[in-house]
Homo-oligomer: A and B are copies of this chain.
Amino acid sequence: MAIDFYFDFASPYGFIAGMQIDAIERPVGWRPFLLGAVYKTFGQSPLEHPLKRKYVIEVDAPRMARRIGLELKVPADFPAHALPPARAFYWIEQQDPARAVAFATAVYRKYWLEGSATSDAAIAADAAASVGFDRDAVLAGMQDASTKSRLIHENEDAIRKGVFGSPFFLVDGEPFWGSDRIALLAQR
């Protein structure tokens, strides 16, 4: 059964899920979206109160990352949007679907292991270059009207399917929310 994997590049638990999902021997459709667009629809903001944000960013996400051998570093501009990589992902996917996942993994590592800014288009372009794309072509591709409308469409599609957090998984219509549900996906 294929897994649809919805995530925001600015989401620490999305990162933690992304670093583990390949271990599930199942086709995975990577679907970056903007949590901000979802929250705008539902009238709620991510990591809404300071205590919860502090817990997630300073305690729990680093702890869960360490459990899979990774040392978390928070993006320099956190909490900022991750519009550039989401657009770059869909532009790349149109050229070469296989390399889109390699790009997602590379850029995720830049944000959450190196602390690079998620809202900085140059970082996303660097990550695309690291998987073989021309930097300027990617930067231009992100600004294509078709790329922009594609991401808007993906956000709307995620909302229509009931996605309300990152990461979020859909397996044959069954929803799973959170990186803690990875073990269940494998058994599904």
Contact = CB atoms under 8 A, between A and B. Distances in A.
A26 interface: no
Residue from the set A49, A51, A180, A181 with the largest chain B CB neighbour count within 10 Å = A51
Contacts of A44: 48-49
Contacts of A52: 164-165
Interface of A: 42-44, 48-49, 51-52, 55, 59-60, 63, 162, 164-165, 174-178, 180-181, 184
A55 B162 contact: yes
Contacts of A55: 162, 164, 175, 177
Quick one: copies of this chain in the complex?
Answer: 2
A49 B164 contact: yes
A156 to B, nearest CB: 15
A51 B177 contact: no
B43 A49 contact: yes
